[in-house]
Chain A
Amino acid sequence: MNDGERTAAGPAGGAPPDTHRSLPHGPRADVARAAGHRDPPPRMGFFTDTSVCIGCKACEVACKEWNGVPEHGLELTGMSYDNTQGLGANSWRHVAFVEQRKPLGGQEPGVAHAGPDVFKAARALGTSPGAGTPAPETAPAGAPAGEIPPVAPGGRTELRWLMSSDVCKHCTQAACLDVCPTGALFRTEFGTVVLQEDVCNGCGYCVPACPYGVVGRREGDGRAWKCTLCYDRLGAGLEPACAKACPTDSIQFGPLEELRERAAARVAQLHAAGVRDARLYGESPEDGVGGDGAFFLLLDEPEVYGLPPDPVVTTRDLPAMWKQAALAAVSLAALGVAGFVRRPR
Chain B
Amino acid sequence: MEEMIIAILRSATPLIYVTLAGVIAQRAGIWHLGLEGLMIVGACSTILGIVLTGSVFYALLLACLFCILGSIIFWFVVEKLKANQIIAGLGLTGLGLGGTTLAVEAIFGTPAAVNAKFGLPKIGYVFGDIFGAFNGLSILVLLMPFVVFGMWLLICRTRLGLQITASGEHPFAARSVGVNPSRMRFIALMIGGVLCALGGAELAAGSLQIFAQNMTAGRGFMSFAAVIFGASHPIGAMLAASFFAIVGALGIRAQLVFGDDVPHDLLLGLPYIATIFGIWLSAKLRGGAKAVSGFDELRD
Q: Are A and B co-members of a single complex?
A: no
Chain B residues proximal to chain A, CB less than 8 Å: none
